[in-house]
């Protein structure tokens, strides 16, 4: 990725102090989504990572991860698999509970969407504590699939998500376009 692309992306991320709770500096991507040049550049960078790492499926994490992962999947020509918050998927699911920066949650995937032989790239907007990504890797492996990697727009380095995720990656790459 060029420095100017990285600067464009960074310039479209807005800091919102004390949201959703006091003490949290929320990284808002809505200005980036509203800028077609920035959103297109982001989509192309993430799609290139998926292809480079040999992904055969793309998992997007609800909800902001969906916004990024869906156009990336189309751009890369790879199938999109939604990982949703609990209770939203109608078929037989695998579930995983986890903690995040400001609460707890549970995510699910349709068990039939992933199988042995799949190489799955996880896409999300933010890696914060790493809890969400860690839970998604657990789901992918429980479904029998292989992890191709995790790709995020931004990593909040001060929350040490990379260190937390390291064991669950088992050598797969964690790609962050921006580290803050």
Ligand X SMILES: O=P(O)(O)OC[C@H]1O[C@H](OP(=O)(O)OP(=O)(O)O)[C@H](O)[C@@H]1O
Ligand Y SMILES: Nc1ncnc2[nH]cnc12
Judged by CB under 6 A, which stretch of 10-18, 62-70, 73-81, 110-118 contacts ligand X? 62-70
What part of residues 28-87 is at the interface with ligand Y (CB under 6 A)? none
Residues in contact with ligand Y, shown as a per-residue x/- string from 76 to 95 under the rule CB under 6 A? --------------------
* Of 64, 141, 142, 164, catalytic: 64
Range 105-109, long-range pairs (CB < 8 A, 24+ positions): 105/132, 107/61, 107/62, 107/83, 107/132, 107/135, 107/136, 107/139, 108/83, 108/84, 108/139, 109/59, 109/81, 109/82, 109/83, 109/84, 109/139, 109/140, 109/143
Could you say whether residue 126 binds ligand Y (CB under 6 A)?
A: yes
Could you say whether residue 124 binds ligand Y (CB under 6 A)?
A: no
Distance CA 127, CA 19 (A): 16
State the nearest-atom distance from the C-beta of 34 to ligand X, in Å.
17
Could you say whether residue 82 binds ligand X (CB under 6 A)?
A: no
Query: Residue numbers of the site for ligand Y (CB under 6 A)?
Result: 24-27, 100-101, 126, 128, 156
């Amino acid at each position: 990725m060029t420095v100017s692309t990285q600067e464009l992306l960074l310039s479209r991320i807005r800091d919102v102090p004390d949201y959703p709770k006091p003490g949290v500096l929320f990284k808002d991507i809505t200005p980036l989504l509203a800028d077609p040049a920035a959103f297109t550049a982001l989509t192309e960078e993430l799609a290139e990572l998926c292809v480079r790492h040999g992904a055969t499926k793309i998992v997007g994490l609800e909800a902001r991860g969906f916004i990024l992962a869906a156009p990336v999947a189309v751009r890369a020509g790879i199938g999109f698999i939604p990982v949703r918050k609990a209770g939203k998927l109608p078929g037989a699911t695998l579930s995983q509970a986890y903690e995040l920066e400001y609460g707890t949650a549970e995510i699910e995937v349709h068990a039939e969407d992933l199988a042995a032989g799949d190489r799955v790239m996880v896409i999300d907007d933010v890696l914060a504590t790493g809890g969400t990504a860690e839970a998604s890797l657990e789901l992918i492996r429980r479904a029998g699939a292989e992890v191709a990697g995790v790709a995020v727009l931004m990593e909040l380095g001060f929350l040490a998500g990379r260190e937390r995720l390291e064991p669950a990656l088992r050598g797969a790459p964690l790609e962050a376009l921006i580290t803050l």
